[in-house]
């Protein structure tokens, strides 16, 4: 046994240590945010374990339910939702919870109430479990202005008001990407320690990428600027090499790749879904927050994504996010289209 190597392993930057270091930069802080994050991290570890078991149960036929199409997935969705609701409520630091799984927002009982509102998708991309594709949890955190009697308006805020956002991806490894408004950092779960270790410090998205990510099956329903942009990706007019298409169909996985390698991820509006498909509060906002913090951009086809003010908790929006220059090109195409209409 290599004791010197083991001793070295204790000098790792865990997510707990990282968040405590951040907390020490704010002498006025009481540790509430740190406690809340530790409960989110615990939820992620729990779901990671459950996802791995579900995959295995499916592979060797231990699922227990005869309905192989939807039932097992649905159960995992519901389990993940319950895990996060319980973890967040028991932290004693939350006030309002908005989950993709629940039609209504959850208002925490007064005795367990804190000053934070959390919006989350407990298991994004869960239809991909059976084929082993990465899935994930997405979350965003708001701080409430007043705690007297919280209302839905307290979460129906623009994304630029978010205090922190992140996602946890359950794939070949379990990766948690987090921003508290001061850059983006990535942590990977070390199963032998049960700890998230800082593996991707200060993530910066490349200024311009070589990848575009979109569901081309919807191409016949796209508007003109989206169709033009994808055409330019495949047949560039400036003599540059065409971009590569990479589309997993799991938002967490597609955005994670975009964040690390650059390029652009788009889920535009189309004739079938005129308001887009992705939900503003717990998909568009957290991912846009991370993108901007990493030096990229996020655009809805009309303006900056984080400036949107949602009217409903499950509102949808088109989204284009990724490398700064690539999103700038899309913005240019939308501006040109608008000028034609004037």
The tens digit of pLDDT for each residue in 74-99 reads 578 888 999 999 999 999 999 999 99
Over residues 24-41, the mean pLDDT reads 90
Long-range contacts from 84-87, C-beta under 8 angstroms, 24+ separation: 84/40, 84/43, 84/47, 84/120, 84/122, 84/137, 87/39, 87/40, 87/42, 87/43, 87/46
Task: Please state which of the ranges 94-98, 200-204, 235-239 shows the lowest mean pLDDT.
Answer: 235-239
- Say what the pLDDT of residue 215 is: 96
Residue 242's pLDDT band (cuts 50, 70, 90) = very high
* pLDDT tens digits for range 164-177: 999 999 988 999 99
Q: Which of 6-20, 113-127, 236-250, 320-334 has the lowest mean pLDDT?
A: 6-20
- Cα(319)–Cα(90) distance, rounded to whole angstroms? 34
Tens digit of each residue's pLDDT (9 = 90 or more) over 123-140: 998 878 778 889 999 999
**What is the CATH code of the structural domain delimited by 211-341?**
3.40.190.80
Chain Cα centroid distance, residue 192: 26
Determine which of 65-69, 225-229, 235-239 has the lowest per-residue pLDDT on average: 65-69
Residue 289 has pLDDT above 90, yes or no: yes
| Interatomic CA distance for residues 157 and 198, integer angstroms | 31
CATH code matching the domain that covers 11-200, chosen among 1.10.357.10, 3.30.540.10, 3.90.930.12, 3.20.20.80: 3.30.540.10
Would the pTM of this model clear 0.85, i.e. be above it?
yes
Domain ranges in the chain are 11-200, 211-341
């Amino acid at each position: 046994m290599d004791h010197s190597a083991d001793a070295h392993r204790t000098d790792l930057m865990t997510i707990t240590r990282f968040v405590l270091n951040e907390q020490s930069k704010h002498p006025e802080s009481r540790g509430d945010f740190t406690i809340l994050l530790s409960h989110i991290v615990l939820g992620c570890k729990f779901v990671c374990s459950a996802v791995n078991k579900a995959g295995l149960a499916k592979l060797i036929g231990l699922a227990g339910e005869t309905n192989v199409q939807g039932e097992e997935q649905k159960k995992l969705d519901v389990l993940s939702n319950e895990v996060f609701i319980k973890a967040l409520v028991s932290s004693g630091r939350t006030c309002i919870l908005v989950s993709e799984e629940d039609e209504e927002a959850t208002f925490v009982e007064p005795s367990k109430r804190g000053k934070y509102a959390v919006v989350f998708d407990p298991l994004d991309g869960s239809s991909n479990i059976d084929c082993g594709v990465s899935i994930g949890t997405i979350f965003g955190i708001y701080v409430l202005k007043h705690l007297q009697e919280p209302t839905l308006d307290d979460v129906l805020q623009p994304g630029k008001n978010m205090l922190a956002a992140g996602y946890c991806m359950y794939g070949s490894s379990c990766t948690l990407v987090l921003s508290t408004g001061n850059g983006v950092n990535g942590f990977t779960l070390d199963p032998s320690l049960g700890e998230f270790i800082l593996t991707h410090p200060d993530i910066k998205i490349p200024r311009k990428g070589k990848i575009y990510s979109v569901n081309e099956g919807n191409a016949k329903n796209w508007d003109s600027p989206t169709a033009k942009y994808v055409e330019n990706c495949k047949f560039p007019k400036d003599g540059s090499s065409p971009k590569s298409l990479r589309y997993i169909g799991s938002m967490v996985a597609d955005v994670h790749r975009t964040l690390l390698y650059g390029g652009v991820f788009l889920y535009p509006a189309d004739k079938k879904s005129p308001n887009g498909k992705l939900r503003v509060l717990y998909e568009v906002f957290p991912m846009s927050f991370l993108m901007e913090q990493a030096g990229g951009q996020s655009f809805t086809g009309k303006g900056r994504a984080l400036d949107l003010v949602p009217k409903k908790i499950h509102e949808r929006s088109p989204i284009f996010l990724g490398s700064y220059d690539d999103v700038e090109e899309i913005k240019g195409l939308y501006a040109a289209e608008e000028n034609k209409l004037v």
